[in-house]
Amino acid sequence: MTTFKGFSAGPVTPLPDVFFGELLPQINHLGELKVTLYALWKLDHSEEDFPYLRESDFAADERFSSGLAATPEDIESTLSESLKRALERGTLLGVDSSEGERLYFLNSPKGRAAVAAIRRGDWQPQKSYRADTVLAAERPNIYQLYERNVGVLTPMLAESLKDAEDEYPSEWIEEAIRIAVEKNVRNWRYIEAILRRWQERGYDVRKDRRDIEESRQEYSNWEDD
């Protein structure tokens, strides 16, 4: 089993409360749950006014589809079955385009309006290739990580971050920033102090998380000059 390293501060995808209160207790099929969550994430990241997905959008995201089954044949059948269940439940709405391709919309006011317009012949999605978003394991680089969680990045600070990136493992930097956020001490000097201390102690990111908790205690009273 691949272990999960934990959530970090960063972009989030909102989920409607009705998903937890009504929909989640009803879903008893893992594939259906996966395609539902994936659709909620993917459609939320779309820049289209009336976002939709095709079955090929699910299948083309290898990081997602590989979690459905072990073989390409099983992935295809599991995906088809999962989408069928999501349609039957009413989570997703399906409609055929003028080219005969099945389009999937979220069962939301916008989704329902789009499906109705297609069925009336009043509207068809653009045929142009859409910018695609796929699941990624890559972590944000140090500059994005700092700006999202700590503050504005100045040219001088960017140089310091570049030096830190060359000197410390990326896992250390990410964890040090996480500690700074949790302690609400959002400045680079605090983060750098944690990194230097770990370097002096020979800190190994594979060690038990008690080392991190110890570091949190040690730096909890640290203040910027």
Domains, the chain, ranges and CATH? Answer: 17-120 (1.10.10.10), 142-219 (1.10.10)
Compute the chain's Rg from CA coordinates.
Answer: 23
> Where is 206: in which H helix or E strand?
none
Token couple for 186:
């959002």
Residue 95 main-chain phi, psi, to 5 deg: -150, 145
Kindly state the helix (H) or strand (E) to which residue 176 belongs, with its residue range: helix 170-182
Percent of the chain topping pLDDT 70: 82
pLDDT, tens digit (0-9, with 9 covering 90-100), for 62-80 = 989 999 999 999 999 999 9
Which of the 8 DSSP states describes residue 100?
S
Q: Quote the DSSP letter at residue 4.
A: P
pTM over 0.85: no
What are the DSSP calls for 106-123, one per residue? ESSHHHHHHHHHHHHTS-
Q: How confident is the model at residue 224 (pLDDT cuts 50, 70, 90)?
A: very low
So what's the pLDDT on residue 166?
87
Angle at 36 between CA 33 and CA 38, to 5 degrees: 105
First to last CA, the chain: 46
Residue 183 CA to residue 114 CA, distance in Å, equals 46
Mean pLDDT across the stretch 41-57?
91
pLDDT, tens digit, 9 for 90 and up, residues 92-131: 999 998 888 899 999 999 999 999 999 999 999 876 545 4
Are the C-beta atoms of residues 197 and 31 closer than 8 Å to each other? Answer: no
| 146 in Cβ contact with 160 (< 8 Å) | no
